[in-house]
Chain A
Amino acid sequence: MRPKEKQILEAGLIHFLKFGFKGTSIDDIAKAAGVGKGTVYNYFENKEELFTRVVNHHEQKNERAFARQWKQYKGKDDPLIMFFIIHYRRIKEDVRKYNITLETFLELIENYQEKQGEKIESKIQDLINLLIQGVKDGRYQPADHRKQAMVLFELSQQYLLKWIKMNDSDMEKDIRDVVSFFLTGILV
């Protein structure tokens, strides 16, 4: 990646997180990155493309951080519980670091989901892999893993707002409670 492109992506991230998708213009990002508007258009066709690339760029960084934390916690708890906790810790770190308001956060998520169907699929695939690994380890029951993964993914989506509003330790406790319930089940 060229230095200028990276500058634009970093400036874009800060602006989108602070002002949302609608509240950000190419002009703002060009100014913040210290480049001309024309330069931005050399790299990105329009705001939509810039947004998608900003998200991808940020996700790659996030995934590296996720992998680091995953290694650190591996074996300390059930893999699915750890997966949820680390995932949400990352989101909360972003919310704090960039001072994202709830409103902006919701707006970005909406934009993100519209454009990132394949991203959702990759998250579901991560969960499927965890479930398959669990069966191999003799820990989880063989089951329809795609269905399980989709339910778990939905769960993480619908609990997003509740968990984001909680403090870290309450959130981790709630994740543990909810995911544990899904782990042990109800039936005999």
Chain B
Amino acid sequence: MANKEQLILNAAVEVFLKYGYKKTSIDDIATHAKIGKGTVYNYYQSKEALFFKMADYNQEIMERDFQVALKHYQGKSDPLINYTIVRQLESRKMIAKYSMNVEVIAELVEIFQNKPDKVEVHIQYYIDILIEGVKSGRYTPADHRKQAMILLDITTQFLFKWLALNEKEMEKEVKNIFGVLLNGIVVKS
């Protein structure tokens, strides 16, 4: 990646994550990167194009940290619980690092929810865990896509509540919810 492009993307991560999509202009990012607006347009056609490139770029960086953190967490609890907790913890780190406020988080969540390819990445993670669980004889075979979609939906609906809790409380609540979910309520046939 060209040096200037790197500069632009780093600036884009900082500005977009702090101020959100709507409130950020190409101008803001150029200023932050200390380069001309025209240079930004040499690389990206529009704010939208830059935003999604920034998202991919940031996702790649986060993913590395995420995998390290997940390894650290392995074996602590059920794999679905570990995964969900580590995702939350990594999101918290990002939110703190870029001083993201609730409005910005809500805006960005909404943007990504409407991008099927972004949602798919997260569904696939849950599907993989579920399939692995069936292979190891731990989980019941089921419609894994449907299960994964609901799991992702639950984490989305609880996101703001979990963010408002401290880490310990958040972990406890994830464990409570997933505990009930894992065991089920109906008598096993």
Contact = CB atoms under 8 A, between A and B. Distances in A.
A134 B186 CA distance: 8
Contacts of B130: 186
Interface of B: 80, 130, 133, 137-140, 142, 146-147, 150, 153-154, 157-158, 161, 173, 176-177, 179-188
A60 interface: no
B133 A186 contact: yes
A159 B160 CA distance: 12
A98 interface: no
Contacts of B133: 186
Given A80-B185, A183-B184, 13 more contacts: A140-B185, A141-B183, A141-B187, A143-B185, A147-B180, A162-B157, A178-B154, A182-B181, A184-B142, A185-B181, A186-B140, A186-B142, A186-B181
A128 B182 CA distance: 19
Contact of B138 (A143, A151, A188): A188
Contacts of B153: 178
A138 interface: yes
A78 B186 CA distance: 10
Given A151-B177, A182-B180, A188 B186 contact: no
Interface residues of A, number: 29
B126 to A, nearest CB: 11
Contacts of B140: 184-188
20 contacts: A138-B187, A140-B187, A141-B188, A155-B177, A162-B157, A178-B153, A178-B154, A182-B184, A183-B184, A184-B142, A184-B184, A185-B140, A185-B184, A186-B80, A186-B130, A186-B147, A187-B140, A187-B184, A188-B138, A188-B139
A150 interface: yes
B139 A187 contact: yes
A139 B139 contact: no
A123 to B, nearest CB: 17
B182 A177 contact: no
B138 to A, nearest CB: 6
Nearest to B160: A158
Contacts of B157: 158-159, 162
A4 to B, nearest CB: 41
Contacts of B158: 154, 158
B179 to A, nearest CB: 8
A159 B153 CA distance: 9
B176 A185 contact: no
Contact of A186 (B154, B177, B184): B184
Contacts of B137: 188
A186 B176 CA distance: 14
A187 B183 contact: yes
B185 A134 contact: yes
Given A158-B161, A187-B139, A181 B147 contact: yes
A62 interface: no
